[in-house]
Structure 1
């Protein structure tokens, strides 16, 4: 017997599509890269500011990570780079530890990216990707919405040009009250104009007046690159119209050149301090990235390996850490634009990173007069679309437990901080899950006339027998819920003095633990003392395997039946024979 060899090519998905790559695909990827770069440059710099880092680090974060993902990732259109949520989490992790903008802060951001990458990489290699998916969708939705509120509010300090604290709502409002007299009105007016530009220019271009005169493809291209046009207009206004004399803060000098490569200083104490934040960022970045990648994979009919995505995301973050930037993940907005622009392969992301290098080398001087309020406006307009309270209402109507988890997460993020809010949301979800499991749905079932089917007697007009009670529990049996079943049986037995048989329908029981087995043994003994037999029906294979190693089957006063219909029919026939025997005896 030969041992299978490890095929390293399975960790390089690029090998499969590069063999079939052609000139036509390259043209499509090149066009999509041009369009994405128009979004990526302003977004990258803006998200770096959200993370509390120099704008240039946002460009650095878009170079090596995208190249790495192009080779190792599985999605043809996923755009890896800085995003608002991860930038905000980076800020929340580092701000309490270091002075904003200091060299120690920047070093720690690089180290944080490497830690995020190592966590993701190890989880992917050892196929523990499922652990990250333990966060429920309602909690993730709530977390993103609450974080979007904080991210939008974090940009108010740039609009007002005052030092607001934005780790939570109480601190935000308290700091606003402290500095409200120092509001810089020219910055606020310029920022409002930028927001209006981003909101209404696309609507104007989509109006019938414009759409009739120009080609729709050119209009769509202009709409997608609106942030870039805003930057051009803003730089012109500041530089040529003399608005810089009003005191509007600009990006200033940005160093040009290729992203500097090197490992940040490793400090064990610092690693321990950053590890909780890195774990939270790794968890959220994977959930966000895999959700986007799965959506595009479904549309393109491609397979997607979640563990491979973890490996790709891990290596992308490590590359971000060694290239003087901060944690990255998949961007929804850029991925959608990339897909709509016709990207055929990850080469589009690779080309985007090449263009970023060219910008970093030769064009950083163009951003000297770029107002910071324009970057703030870009973030606020893009992120505010995520603030939608409909999911809260819909979830509450569907499930009160999930609704409670959503609201708790939302308020925890807003009133404590991002990381604590996520942890509280996850813990709340598990508490509510345990509460639900401990209160399983248990029903008395009866036979539907003319069929072999048994249903809940409170939902259907079903036939029952006075001496036989059929009970179905719709949950796997464990120490959490077995006592609820015992209490239910006790109540039903107490209400029926003529009862002779209890049939436990196990069709919904997929597993059973030792506590549940031992409690069933006690129930069997207690019923036996009352002259009542306990029977089991429709026991699944894995559950029967467990029962084979327990004494329950040897002590069981009743029988185990393949179907519930057979159980009722057998017991019914047995009771009829007993009645007939008694009548003959008399």
Structure 2
């Protein structure tokens, strides 16, 4: 973003800062001011009164630039989902309009994405395009409800290894599904193994024209992507006019690379049309013209002559009903945080916004939408000032639907495949494998589990099994916490000081008793458990400590607790009131002195 853009943004939000938050304690109902609540949930009301003409011009430029990326990507992602290309354009405008009103991140672009397209692909193949629209509606409703009940924390169960494995599996699945189009093979394929099987079984059907066009398009896209290193949209007075023109032109080529490649492929297909109506490439074909009608999402459908009820359709969606909203939230919140510019992000508001985008999108036959990292980055680089940039993008998509859908007829499928494959190459998280190998090799296990299950089974099962694998590691570390055992001499006695390094929960109760039994075997010693690092315990741990006291005293030893937090102390006493005798409120030296003076412990041997 240019310096002027940053300055403008700061001025725009200078007085507001973060979105006002609803108090969560005390008499919060008395503290809520209705207008503050309205502004919190409709951020448009915060910045609209300060809007300037200069902001409008920058938003128009950014919106136009994003549209150059969104239109070809929308068409390509519709093909990924197994839908007619027009569904990608249906998904490209309503989300922009709704997010303009309810969105809090100026850079975020809402629209179709590769991962969500892949998640609905099998359902579209089984029961038709109505499955995509219904999935949009259910996704929006669930996201909205999760925001309403502040349940967005569920995405915190998606750890970095699971996210990296999931996105990498999705990227490989999506890229593989485009191989048939890249090589000009007239066969459908969806899953990873099936896609490669189709390729190898139809090697004799590969068309050299489509393959050449597709591979050259991939090379061109990668070269154009590097043009961002040659300049920016910012005019630099220290450079010559020619150098500034070169810099800005190079950056514009980078931003519009997808549209540029699609346009070149389309022109080639049109010019090389033969007299008998044949084309050297497999082309997209007819695309429905015009804006979709505004209607209720389909709660029943007819596909291949069979009627399917709402329950049949939801049964077909299966786990996608749950995982599609979670993935949508994860993508949106992660992207919004990345472009928040250091400001606190109201994740609940983002969930409301994305939920509303999907609900309203389902009324115009949209497939599920969420934040797009690629288009958000383009929006940011183009110097967008407010979410009004999304309105310009949405209007341009509507114009494309109204006036130029006939030109989409000539788009080669190999060109669309190259756009998707190139995007997936950069979506695949190669760095995650290196980072986890260097930092913590055990984290590679949930990453690989998520990745392999996602590739060879399904993305939904990849997420589920990856999270389960990750939770097993968490449970294991909870059941096997680290203890530091130090042997001291205090007051003439041998003291074993046991210091847990982390919280002690019920899975670790038996393990703690085992560690003390194995490590503290000398008769006459004092076993001291240091509670400084124990943040919380449950009833199971409290009961285990009570049993531990009995076991220690049977070995002619003594158990003491020091530095216990009040809540830990109370939990122990609620379990066994007699434990008050071994809870030390003074220093360890004073406690040992009392032991030495007490006739109750005369059997304990002194250290000589």
Same fold (TM over 0.5): yes
Deviations, residues 454-504 of structure 1 (Å, cap 9, x unaligned): xxxxxxxx999862111011232222111110001111222x2341x2111
In structure 2, the partner of 1:558 is: 582
Judging changes above 3 Å, is the alpha-carbon distance between structure 1 residues 363 and 546 closer, same or farther for their aligned structure 2 residues?
A: same
Q: Give the secondary-structure state (helix, strand or coil) at the position aligned to 2:47.
A: helix
In structure 2, the partner of 1:455 is: none
Judging changes above 3 Å, is the alpha-carbon distance between structure 1 residues 382 and 493 closer, same or farther for their aligned structure 2 residues?
A: same
Judging changes above 3 Å, is the alpha-carbon distance between structure 1 residues 465 and 227 closer, same or farther for their aligned structure 2 residues?
A: farther
Deviations, residues 299-356 of structure 1 (Å, cap 9, x unaligned): 2x43321111111111111122111111011011111110111111111112211111
Give the aligned CA root-mean-square deviation in angstroms: 2.7
* 1:190-201 matched pairs, under 5 angstroms: 190-201=213-224
Task: Say whether residues 1:537 and 2:562 are aligned partners.
Answer: yes
Query: C-alpha separation between the residues in 2 aligned to 1:213 and 1:122?
Result: 49
8 Å Cα contact 1:82/1:329 also seen in 2: yes
Query: C-alpha separation between the residues in 1 aligned to 2:477 and 2:167?
Result: 25
Equivalent residue for 1:467, pick from 494, 507, 518 = 494
Alpha-carbon shift at residue 390 of structure 1 (Å)? 3.1
What TM-score do you get using the length of structure 2 for normalisation? Answer: 0.85
Alpha-carbon shift at residue 203 of structure 1 (Å)? 4.6
Judging changes above 3 Å, is the alpha-carbon distance between structure 1 residues 248 and 142 closer, same or farther for their aligned structure 2 residues?
A: same
Equivalent residue for 2:330, pick from 246, 265, 287 = 287
* 1:118-267 matched pairs, under 5 angstroms: 118-162=141-185, 166-203=189-226, 214-242=245-273, 245-266=278-299, 267=310
Alpha-carbon shift at residue 291 of structure 1 (Å)? 0.6
Equivalent residue for 1:36, pick from 42, 66, 81 = 66
Judging changes above 3 Å, is the alpha-carbon distance between structure 1 residues 418 and 344 closer, same or farther for their aligned structure 2 residues?
A: same
Deviations, residues 112-133 of structure 1 (Å, cap 9, x unaligned): 1111111101000011111122
Q: Give the secondary-structure state (helix, strand or coil) at the position aligned to 1:245.
A: coil
Task: Say whether residues 1:403 and 2:444 are aligned partners.
Answer: yes
Q: Give the secondary-structure state (helix, strand or coil) at the position aligned to 2:385.
A: coil
Task: Say whether residues 1:389 and 2:430 are aligned partners.
Answer: yes
8 Å Cα contact 1:392/1:407 also seen in 2: no
Query: C-alpha separation between the residues in 1 aligned to 2:43 and 2:584?
Result: 51
Equivalent residue for 1:49, pick from 79, 89, 101 = 79
Judging changes above 3 Å, is the alpha-carbon distance between structure 1 residues 192 and 2 closer, same or farther for their aligned structure 2 residues?
A: closer
Judging changes above 3 Å, is the alpha-carbon distance between structure 1 residues 186 and 465 closer, same or farther for their aligned structure 2 residues?
A: farther
Alpha-carbon shift at residue 217 of structure 1 (Å)? 1.4
In structure 2, the partner of 1:352 is: 393
Query: C-alpha separation between the residues in 2 aligned to 1:465 and 1:80?
Result: 71
Q: Give the secondary-structure state (helix, strand or coil) at the position aligned to 1:146.
A: helix
Judging changes above 3 Å, is the alpha-carbon distance between structure 1 residues 2 and 417 closer, same or farther for their aligned structure 2 residues?
A: closer
Deviations, residues 121-170 of structure 1 (Å, cap 9, x unaligned): 10000111111221111110111012111111111111123255654433
8 Å Cα contact 1:535/1:556 also seen in 2: no
Residue correspondences, number: 551
Judging changes above 3 Å, is the alpha-carbon distance between structure 1 residues 503 and 402 closer, same or farther for their aligned structure 2 residues?
A: same
In structure 2, the partner of 1:341 is: 382
What TM-score do you get using the length of structure 1 for normalisation? Answer: 0.88
8 Å Cα contact 2:107/2:339 also seen in 1: yes
Equivalent residue for 2:468, pick from 427, 445, 449 = 427
8 Å Cα contact 1:199/1:381 also seen in 2: yes
Deviations, residues 389-414 of structure 1 (Å, cap 9, x unaligned): 33123213422432111111111111
Query: C-alpha separation between the residues in 2 aligned to 1:191 and 1:369?
Result: 15
8 Å Cα contact 1:116/1:282 also seen in 2: yes
Query: C-alpha separation between the residues in 2 aligned to 1:223 and 1:401?
Result: 38
Judging changes above 3 Å, is the alpha-carbon distance between structure 1 residues 38 and 3 closer, same or farther for their aligned structure 2 residues?
A: closer
What are the ranges of 5 or more consecutive residues in structure 1 without an aligned counterpart? 99-104, 448-461
Compare 464-473 and 226-235 and name the one that shifted more: 464-473
Q: Give the secondary-structure state (helix, strand or coil) at the position aligned to 1:33.
A: helix
Query: C-alpha separation between the residues in 1 aligned to 2:560 and 2:298?
Result: 67
Task: Say whether residues 1:371 and 2:412 are aligned partners.
Answer: yes
Task: Say whether residues 1:114 and 2:137 are aligned partners.
Answer: yes
8 Å Cα contact 2:177/2:192 also seen in 1: no
Task: Say whether residues 1:66 and 2:92 are aligned partners.
Answer: no
Alpha-carbon shift at residue 206 of structure 1 (Å)? 6.0
8 Å Cα contact 2:258/2:419 also seen in 1: yes
Query: C-alpha separation between the residues in 1 aligned to 2:115 and 2:44?
Result: 28
8 Å Cα contact 2:560/2:583 also seen in 1: yes
Task: Say whether residues 1:520 and 2:527 are aligned partners.
Answer: no
In structure 2, the partner of 1:570 is: 590
Query: C-alpha separation between the residues in 1 aligned to 2:527 and 2:490?
Result: 16
8 Å Cα contact 2:91/2:369 also seen in 1: yes
Task: Say whether residues 1:486 and 2:510 are aligned partners.
Answer: no
In structure 2, the partner of 1:361 is: 402
Judging changes above 3 Å, is the alpha-carbon distance between structure 1 residues 206 and 528 closer, same or farther for their aligned structure 2 residues?
A: closer
Query: C-alpha separation between the residues in 2 aligned to 1:520 and 1:465?
Result: 26
Query: C-alpha separation between the residues in 2 aligned to 1:242 and 1:288?
Result: 41
Judging changes above 3 Å, is the alpha-carbon distance between structure 1 residues 398 and 203 closer, same or farther for their aligned structure 2 residues?
A: closer
Deviations, residues 368-394 of structure 1 (Å, cap 9, x unaligned): 211111111111112201224331232
Query: C-alpha separation between the residues in 2 aligned to 1:260 and 1:463?
Result: 83
Compare 381-390 and 503-512 and name the one that shifted more: 381-390
Query: C-alpha separation between the residues in 1 aligned to 2:418 and 2:47?
Result: 39
Alpha-carbon shift at residue 250 of structure 1 (Å)? 1.6
Q: Give the secondary-structure state (helix, strand or coil) at the position aligned to 1:502.
A: strand
What are the ranges of 5 or more consecutive residues in structure 2 without an aligned counterpart? 1-26, 232-240, 300-309, 604-608
Query: C-alpha separation between the residues in 2 aligned to 1:90 and 1:527?
Result: 60
Query: C-alpha separation between the residues in 2 aligned to 1:258 and 1:463?
Result: 84
Q: Give the secondary-structure state (helix, strand or coil) at the position aligned to 1:430.
A: helix
